[in-house]
Chains A and B, each alone.
Chain A
């Protein structure tokens, strides 16, 4: 069942200049992104910094207002909801933030941090709330007796567990995980990834898993979408993306990922230069300035995802 359906999502940030703050340019952070998220699945969203993956996650939750596009949650258009309805919707869609050091209020106890969504959304008695917080803490591997402690008393991995407990408080259907493990050391990263996988299996939550680490995304995702310069360039089940990548950017990205095996000798595709600025993206295909297989026609192409095989979508007509 499709839970979340995003079509042609755009978010343009104005660049204001001069004394009258007139908008002179637009940063096209997200420029036409479409995908669907099914119940209980994990869709990995990968790409390099500045490609717009975080903006997609936040626009879906309406933490930032999208410029245009349609977001349907269980068939209902999220953009048309009024404030009260949107507030209700938030209980089914939650987020886990990247930085466990800044995403928890340092002046609130862990118990209060986890209880806050419950206070806002559910009419529970004090003792019911306390029980719920204790069971949530247990679920994510924290000791319930620590609920009176403050965030600074916990390590990075534990803080990320607090963030996860908070996002689970309202039994959401969708959780946007925005780089949830990139700030953690590998041994701790493995603990948090295992926790997320376990929780998903138990609670049938759908994850939109935003990350730049290709290994982490492969491990956790059912399907993967690769973003470049505000658009999805390729989207397919994870086996397809990792074993049969079609888009030249996906191929280059995969060949660039360092693999912990000294015997593995790979053909590395080195992309020249840097990602172009989203203020002034190249015409036609956004990747053409770095593409090893660029053709003269790419200048006038529209980057459009096309279905090549069942469930494998690519935004390049030459592959």
Chain B
């Protein structure tokens, strides 16, 4: 498998007059062709910032992106703004979390959908409209001919997210970032959207990076998973191995703390496993391993030195002192 995206030592920091915060701190990540990579972690762990850094949708300054992001053999951080703009929405695309706020309320679906197509493909307005209609049909919007003339407010949340997906896919991207694409939606609508994404991925041969905090969505969609904590990767594994044999205490804690449907009958008592404490403040990170103040298996070394990255298999890595010892 050849990687389509290779991120190494990505550091994304935000500067303010008083201080600098590193939202992503030394991230290595690789996306293979045709795979769905799940990127999980709790709020503030840097998963969205990673996506925004790749697409360079962060205002710099205050943000600063360092490291290398190699997409199809080209380092995106060395590209000019013009070259980046040509890539964005074309070969590299993104679906945003909030279908309610990420569409322009004063433009029709037609305007918003054909804008990208005409910008990247140099086709006539009528041809672009024809393509747009095909995509609306593809994402199963009923009666696309009349829907395309409407404004976002006339559509429901699920419909808007379909429009966002149609928009992101309209130029056949090779890599799609989906940032919490179903978090704002109800479960039955979420099921529709996940099914749609899975089907389109097959049809259009797109690689997907699925960003979510919902491990249920990951289990269903992803082939490989990267778990992030406080701006860093803590564990990386194929999806089955991650769920069956999680190696990082944080991953174990996350999996144990979900009250999943159907789990109660197999539990002895009513207590959910908790991860004590809260996510550390990025301005005031603990020394050593960033997870150690909340870790139930910490050792003296965890408080002093940063844990090493341990390779457990061809696609498995964990950053933990426990594995280094054993």
Q: Could you tell me which residues of chain A, from 124 to 159, have a CB within 8 Å of some CB in chain B?
A: 155, 157-158
Is A242 a contact partner of B195 (Cβ separation < 8 A)?
no
Give the residues in chain B near A258, CB-CB below 8 Å.
190, 194, 214, 216-217, 219-220
How far, in whole Å, are A67 and B43 apart by their CA atoms in the complex? 40
Q: Could you tell me which residues of chain A, from 238 to 263, have a CB within 8 Å of some CB in chain B?
A: 238-239, 242-243, 252-263
Give the residues in chain B near A185, CB-CB below 8 Å.
42-43, 213, 279
Given contacts A260-B219, A262-B243, contact A190 B43 (CB under 8 A): no
How far, in whole Å, are A257 and B186 apart by their CA atoms in the complex? 10
B291 → chain A, closest Cβ, in Å? 11
Q: Nearest chain-B residue to A49 (Cβ)? A: B186
How far, in whole Å, are A186 and B278 apart by their CA atoms in the complex? 11
Q: Is the C-beta of A39 less than 8 angstroms from some C-beta in chain B? A: no
Q: Is the C-beta of A189 less than 8 angstroms from some C-beta in chain B? A: yes
Is B272 a contact partner of A219 (Cβ separation < 8 A)?
yes
Q: Is the C-beta of B255 less than 8 angstroms from some C-beta in chain A? A: yes
Give the residues in chain B near A218, CB-CB below 8 Å.
259, 261-264
Interface size class of A (residues with CB under 8 A): 35 or more
Given contacts A190-B272, A258-B217, A260-B243, contact A212 B278 (CB under 8 A): no
From the candidates B256, B257, B261, B273, name the one contacting A259 in the complex (CB within 8 A).
Answer: B261
Is B195 a contact partner of A215 (Cβ separation < 8 A)?
no
From the candidates A193, A253, A257, name the one contacting B216 in the complex (CB within 8 A).
Answer: A257
Give the residues in chain A near B258, CB-CB below 8 Å.
186, 190, 215, 260
Q: Could you tell me which residues of chain B, from 164 to 222, have a CB within 8 Å of some CB in chain A?
A: 186-192, 194-195, 213-220
Q: Mark A190-204, 1 if CB is under 8 A from B, else 0.
A: 110110010000000
Q: Nearest chain-B residue to A271 (Cβ)? A: B188
Give the residues in chain A near B272, CB-CB below 8 Å.
190, 193-194, 219
Give the residues in chain B near A215, CB-CB below 8 Å.
216, 258-261, 263
From the candidates A243, A255, A264, A274, name the one contacting B156 in the complex (CB within 8 A).
Answer: A274
From the candidates A49, A155, A158, A219, name the one contacting B264 in the complex (CB within 8 A).
Answer: A219
How far, in whole Å, are A203 and B233 apart by their CA atoms in the complex? 42
Q: Nearest chain-A residue to B196 (Cβ)? A: A270
Is B192 a contact partner of A260 (Cβ separation < 8 A)?
no
Is A187 a contact partner of B219 (Cβ separation < 8 A)?
no
Q: Is the C-beta of A299 less than 8 angstroms from some C-beta in chain B? A: no
Q: Could you tell me which residues of chain A, from 259 to 297, have a CB within 8 Å of some CB in chain B?
A: 259-264, 268, 270-271, 273-275
How far, in whole Å, are A263 and B191 apart by their CA atoms in the complex? 18
Q: Mark B301-315, 1 if CB is under 8 A from A, else 0.
A: 000000000000000
Given contacts A48-B186, A218-B261, A218-B262, contact A190 B191 (CB under 8 A): no
How far, in whole Å, are A187 and B256 apart by their CA atoms in the complex? 9
Q: Is the C-beta of B158 less than 8 angstroms from some C-beta in chain A? A: yes
Q: Mark B11-48, 1 if CB is under 8 A from A, else 0.
A: 00000000000000000000000000000001100000
- Number of B residues near A (Cβ < 8 Å) is 49
Is B218 a contact partner of A260 (Cβ separation < 8 A)?
yes
Q: Is the C-beta of A170 less than 8 angstroms from some C-beta in chain B? A: no
Q: Which secondary structure characterizes the binding site on chain A? A: helix
Give the residues in chain A near B42, CB-CB below 8 Å.
185-187
Give the residues in chain A near B3, CB-CB below 8 Å.
none
A244 → chain B, closest Cβ, in Å? 12
Given contacts A242-B261, A257-B261, A270-B192, contact A187 B274 (CB under 8 A): yes
Q: Is the C-beta of B253 less than 8 angstroms from some C-beta in chain A? A: yes
Q: Is the C-beta of B275 less than 8 angstroms from some C-beta in chain A? A: yes
From the candidates A191, A197, A260, name the one contacting B260 in the complex (CB within 8 A).
Answer: A260
Is A189 a contact partner of B219 (Cβ separation < 8 A)?
no
Is A186 a contact partner of B219 (Cβ separation < 8 A)?
no
Give the residues in chain A near B275, CB-CB below 8 Å.
187, 190
Q: Mark B273-310, 1 if CB is under 8 A from A, else 0.
A: 11110110000000000000000000000000000000
How far, in whole Å, are A254 and B194 apart by their CA atoms in the complex? 15
Give the residues in chain A near B268, CB-CB below 8 Å.
none
From the candidates B159, B265, B270, B276, name the one contacting A197 in the complex (CB within 8 A).
Answer: B270
Given contacts A155-B278, A215-B259, A218-B259, contact A260 B216 (CB under 8 A): yes
How far, in whole Å, are A9 and B39 apart by their CA atoms in the complex? 44
From the candidates A188, A259, A264, name the one contacting B278 in the complex (CB within 8 A).
Answer: A188
Q: Is the C-beta of B122 less than 8 angstroms from some C-beta in chain A? A: no
Q: Nearest chain-B residue to A195 (Cβ)? A: B274
Q: Nearest chain-A residue to B271 (Cβ)? A: A194
Q: Is the C-beta of A216 less than 8 angstroms from some C-beta in chain B? A: yes
Is B265 a contact partner of A219 (Cβ separation < 8 A)?
no
Q: Is the C-beta of A214 less than 8 angstroms from some C-beta in chain B? A: yes
Q: Mark A64-96, 1 if CB is under 8 A from B, else 0.
A: 000000000000000000000000000000000
Q: Nearest chain-B residue to A158 (Cβ)? A: B278
Give the residues in chain A near B142, CB-CB below 8 Å.
273
A79 → chain B, closest Cβ, in Å? 32
A241 → chain B, closest Cβ, in Å? 10
From the candidates A157, A189, A239, A270, name the one contacting B257 in the complex (CB within 8 A).
Answer: A189
Q: Could you tell me which residues of chain A, from 209 to 231, have a CB within 8 Å of some CB in chain B?
A: 212-216, 218-220
Extra contacts, 8 of them, besides A218-B262, A258-B220, A274-B189 (Cβ < 8 A), are A186-B254, A194-B274, A212-B186, A219-B272, A242-B262, A259-B219, A263-B240, A274-B158
Supply 23 A–B pairs (Cβ within 8 Å), ascending by A: A48-B186, A185-B42, A185-B213, A185-B279, A190-B256, A190-B273, A191-B274, A191-B276, A194-B271, A214-B187, A214-B261, A215-B216, A238-B264, A254-B261, A256-B190, A258-B194, A258-B214, A259-B219, A261-B243, A262-B243, A271-B192, A273-B142, A274-B159
3 nearest A-B residue pairs (beta carbon) = A258-B216, A219-B259, A190-B257
